[in-house]
C-alpha cells in the first residue's frame, strides 16, 4: 500500500496533516524546538496576542486536578508588534502553518489586530471570543450569537486571511454561535475552549489560584468537546477543528471520525511535548491498518446504527 494522504483543507487553509498545537500551550513555537520537530506539525497556533503587551493574572496560575489542569494565566503576551518583530521570523522557517490567536476588548481592537497581522506572512487567524478571563460588560463575547458575529465580521473585513473562531462551551446552544460566525464570514470554528473552574486548598482555606477561578482543560474535557463537535458538524457545513483532552492518537481519531477536519493538542504538550508527533504517526498507522489511502475516508465516518 502506498503512502497515505494526511493533507486536509479547512476552507482556504491547507494543512499537511490535521494535527496542530493549541494556543497557550506551545508558547510562540520557539520554546519547543529542542523537543519537537516543528516541520512535522500541521500547524502551530501561537499564544494569544493583544494589541499591547499584557501582564496576566497574579500567581499561582496553574493547578492540577484529577484528569485535568486549571489555568489562570490571564492571556499574558508580548503584544502583536513584538511578536511580528521577535517571534515570527523564526516560525517562518518551518513547514507548519502559522495560525495566530488574537483577542481584544472591543470589535475595533479585533479589527486592528487582523489588519496588522494580514501582511506579515502568517497563514490564518484564530479569533478568541471565549476566554473565561476576558469580559465585556460582565459578559463573554462568545456567549451571544449577535456579538460573536459582530466580532467575526470585524475581523473578516480587515483581513484576506482564513479566519477561525474559537468557541466557548459556556453557552446554551453552541450550534447557534457556530452558525452566526459562519454567516459572518468565518472559514471554520475551533472548539472547544476551556470551561470555567476553581480549586480550594483545604489547609489554608484559600483558592489555589491567584485569580480564584480559571479555565479547565485536559482529558476530563474530551467527552464534552466530542459531543459539542458532533452537534456542530451534523447541523452545519463548516470546517470544525476539534480541541479538548486529546492525549494520544486514539483521542484524535475519535474527533476525526465524529467529523472534525483537524484537531489541536493543548494540555498534553505540558505532559509529553512529543504528543503531537506521536498522534500524527498514530493516525497514519491507523489508516494503514484499516487500508485507507486518504484521511478523508475517515473524517465524518461515524456510524450511528448499532
The gap between the terminal CA atoms of the chain, to the nearest Å, is 30
pTM of this prediction? 0.96
- pLDDT tens digit string along 184-202? 999 999 999 999 999 999 9
143 exposed, middle or buried (CB, 10 Å; 0-12, 13-18, 19+)?
middle
DSSP 258: H
pLDDT at 11 over 90: yes
List the domain range (segments joined by +) for residue 22: 8-56+74-195+216-297
Rounded CA separation 114/257 (Å): 32
Whether 288 and 257 have beta carbons less than 8 Å apart is answered as no
pLDDT of residue 305: 78
pLDDT at 210: 97
> What integer is the mean pLDDT of 216-234?
98
pLDDT at position 19: 99
Give domain status of residue 181, yes or no: yes
Write out the three cell numbers for 222. 474530551
Q: Indicate if the pLDDT at residue 137 is higher than 60.
A: no
What does the alpha-carbon distance between residue 170 and residue 124 come to, in Å, rounded to a whole number?
25
Q: Would you say residue 304 lies in a domain? A: no
CATH classification of the domain holding 138: 3.20.20.70
* Joined grid coordinates for residue 145: 450569537
pLDDT, residue 1, reads 54
Is residue 233 in some structural domain?
Answer: yes
Q: What was the pLDDT predicted at 120?
A: 98
From the candidates 131, 156, 248, 290, give the one annotated as an active-site residue: 131
Number of structural domains the chain divides into: 1
- What CA–CA distance (Å, rounded) separates 45 from 193? 13
Within a domain: 3: no
For the cut 50, the answer to whether the pLDDT of residue 134 exceeds it is no
Residues 6+ apart with CB under 8 A from 90: 28, 29, 30
pLDDT in tens, 230-241: 999 999 999 999
The dihedral built from the CA positions of residue 187, 255, 180 and 144, taken in this order, carries a sign that is: negative
SS3 65: strand
Distance between CA atoms of residues 220 and 222, nearest Å: 6
Q: Which residues contact 145 (CB under 8 A, 6 or more apart)?
A: 176, 177, 179, 180
> CA triplet 63, 264, 295: central angle to 5 degrees?
150
The average pLDDT across 110-130 equals 96
Counting every residue, how long is the chain? 306
pLDDT of residue 132: 40
> What region, left, alpha or beta, does residue 254 occupy, with left being phi > 0 and alpha being psi -120 to 50 degrees?
alpha
Determine, yes or no, domain membership for 64. Answer: no
The CA distance from 77 to 93, in Å, is: 22
| 211 located within any domain | no
Q: What is the pLDDT of residues 65-100, one digit of tens each?
A: 999 999 999 999 999 999 999 999 999 999 999 999
Q: Does 133 score more than 50 pLDDT?
A: no
Q: How far is the C-alpha of 269 from the C-alpha of 57, rounded, in Å?
A: 22
pLDDT mean across residues, the chain: 95
pLDDT band at 131 (very low <50, low <70, confident <90, very high): low
Residue 80 counted as domain residue: yes
- Is pLDDT of 135 > 50? no
Indicate if 131 belongs to the active site: yes
How far apart CA 137 and CA 120 sit, in angstroms, is: 32
Asked whether residue 62 is assigned to any structural domain, the reply reads: no
Amino acid at each position: 500500500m502506498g503512502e497515505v494522504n494526511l493533507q486536509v483543507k479547512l476552507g482556504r487553509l491547507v494543512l499537511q496533516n490535521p494535527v496542530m498545537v493549541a494556543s497557550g500551550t506551545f508558547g510562540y513555537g520557539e520554546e519547543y524546538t529542542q523537543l519537537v520537530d516543528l516541520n512535522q506539525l500541521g500547524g502551530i497556533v501561537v499564544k494569544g496576542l493583544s494589541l499591547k503587551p499584557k501582564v496576566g493574572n497574579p500567581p499561582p496560575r496553574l493547578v492540577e486536578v484529577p484528569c485535568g489542569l486549571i489555568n489562570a494565566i490571564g492571556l499574558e503576551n508580548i503584544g502583536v508588534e513584538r511578536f511580528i518583530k521577535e517571534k515570527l521570523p523564526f516560525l517562518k522557517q518551518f513547514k507548519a502553518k502559522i495560525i495566530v490567536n488574537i483577542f481584544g476588548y472591543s470589535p475595533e481592537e479585533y479589527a486592528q489586530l487582523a489588519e496588522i497581522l494580514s501582511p506579515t506572512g502568517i497563514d490564518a487567524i484564530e479569533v478568541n471570543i471565549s476566554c473565561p478571563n476576558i469580559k465585556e460588560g460582565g459578559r463573554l463575547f462568545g456567549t451571544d450569537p449577535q456579538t460573536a458575529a459582530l466580532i467575526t465580521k470585524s475581523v473578516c473585513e480587515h483581513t484576506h486571511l482564513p479566519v477561525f473562531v474559537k468557541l466557548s462551551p459556556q453557552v446554551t446552544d453552541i450550534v447557534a454561535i457556530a452558525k452566526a460566525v459562519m454567516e459572518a464570514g468565518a472559514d471554520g470554528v475551533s472548539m472547544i475552549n476551556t470551561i470555567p473552574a476553581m480549586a480550594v486548598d483545604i489547609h489554608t482555606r484559600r483558592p489555589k489560584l491567584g485569580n480564584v477561578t480559571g479555565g479547565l482543560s485536559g482529558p476530563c474535557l474530551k467527552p464534552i468537546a466530542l459531543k459539542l463537535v458532533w452537534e456542530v458538524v451534523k447541523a452545519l457545513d463548516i470546517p470544525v477543528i476539534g480541541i479538548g483532552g486529546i492525549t494520544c492518537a486514539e483521542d484524535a481519531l475519535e474527533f476525526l471520525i465524529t467529523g472534525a477536519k483537524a484537531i489541536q493538542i493543548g494540555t498534553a504538550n505540558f505532559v509529553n511535548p512529543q504528543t503531537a508527533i506521536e498522534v500524527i504517526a498514530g493516525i497514519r498507522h491507523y489508516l494503514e491498518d484499516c487500508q485507507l489511502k486518504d484521511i478523508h475516508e475517515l473524517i465524518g465516518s461515524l456510524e450511528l446504527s448499532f
